[in-house]
Amino acid sequence: MRKLIVTEFITLDGVVEDPGGAEGFERGGWAFQFDRGPEGDKFKLDEIM
Amino acid sequence: MTYQGFAAAWPSRTGEYADKLNGMPKYVVSTTLSQSDLTWDNSILIQGDVAREMSKLKQQPGGDILLAGSIRLVQTLLEHDLVDELRLMVYPIVLGCGRRLFEDGSKMTAMRLVESKPVGGGIVILRYVQAEEPIRGMSDSGGRKPV
C-alpha cells in the first residue's frame, strides 16, 4: 500500500500557518528567517525524488 | 490554500526540485475548486468523503504520497489514522499566534520517533510514525498519571 507522508514546517509553539508568507497571515513567512542549509535543502529534495 | 500557493509559485520555476514537482501527479482536495481551476500540470481533484477517497488512493498502485502544508486536511487525515509518517521541520521560533497542527481536542496519539536530524539555522527535522502500542500510562479516558 502507498504510504501517506505528511511534511510540515512547524514552530516551537506548534504553529504551522503560512511558513512561506504567501497567505496573508500577519506573522507569515517565518520559515524564511532561517537558513536550513544544504542538508535541509537536500532533505526537501529527497522527499520528492 | 497550500495548493493555490504552490500553483502560483512553481509552474514558472525550473531546476531539479521545481521540475520534479511540476511533473509529478498532484492530488488536490478541495470543496471550492473545480477541475478547471487546477491549471498546474498533472493536478487531480479529489472531492467528497475525504477520508474514504484518501483511503482508496492509498490502495491504488503508485509511489508514496507526500502531503505538505494543508493544515485542515492533515488534521482530518490524522483523525482518521490515515497518516503513515509525520515529518516536522521544527523552526527555532515562537510565533505566539497562528493555526497549530494539533489543536485542543486532537485525538491522543503516541508517535514513534524514527529519525531526528539537525540541519542549518537551528532547525531540527523529526520523523515520526504511529506507535504500535500506546505509551504506558497514557489513556484516552482523560486520566493523567502523576509524574
Same domain, B93 and B24: no
Residues B1 and B64 in one domain: yes
Range of the domain at B40: 1-83
Please check the confidence at residue B120 and state whether its pLDDT lies above 60: yes
Best CA proximity match to B100, nearest among A20, A21, A12 = A12
| pTM higher than the cut 0.90 | no
ipTM of the complex: 0.96
Q: Are residues B37 and B56 in the same domain?
A: yes
Q: Are residues B1 and B12 in the same domain?
A: yes
Question: Last residue of a domain, which of B83, B98, B115?
Answer: B83
Q: Where are the domains of chain A?
A: 19-49
- Split at pLDDT 50, 70, 90, the class of B13 is very high
The A-side interface with B (CB below 8 A) comprises 1-20, 22-23, 25-27, 30-31, 33-40, 43-45, 47-49
Tell me whether residue A4 is exposed, middle or buried, using C-beta atoms within 10 angstroms of its C-beta: 0 to 12, 13 to 18, 19 or more: buried
Q: How many domains does chain B have?
A: 2
Average of pLDDT values for B8-29?
93
**B109/B12 Cα distance (integer angstroms):** 40
**Cβ atoms B29, B50 nearer than 8 A:** yes
Q: Are residues B72 and B98 in the same domain?
A: no
Nearest to A19 by CA among B38, B68, B117: B68
B47 and B20 within one domain? yes
Same domain, B128 and B106: yes
Instruction: For residue B43, list its beta bridge partners.
Output: B26
Spatial neighbors of A37 by CB under 8 A, at least 6 apart, are B119, B120, B121
Q: In this model, does residue B144 exceed pLDDT 70?
A: no
Are B80 and B106 in contact, with CB atoms under 8 Å apart?
no
Domain boundary among B83, B101, B121: B83
CB contact under 8 A, A4 and B54: yes
Average pLDDT over every residue of B110-126: 97
Give the residue from A1, A8, A42 with the most B CB atoms within 10 Å of its CB, the best one to mutate: A8
Mean pLDDT, range B77-86, rounded to an integer: 94
Region A4-31 average pLDDT: 95
Same domain as B45, residue B108: no
Chain B (110-129) residues lying within 8 Å, Cβ to Cβ, of chain A: 117, 119-123, 125
Does the beta-carbon distance from A36 to B93 stay under 8 Å?
A: no
User: Does B63 lie in the same domain as B9?
Assistant: yes
Asked if pLDDT for residue A40 goes beyond 80, the answer is: yes
Q: Which three cell numbers stand for residue B109?
A: 496519539
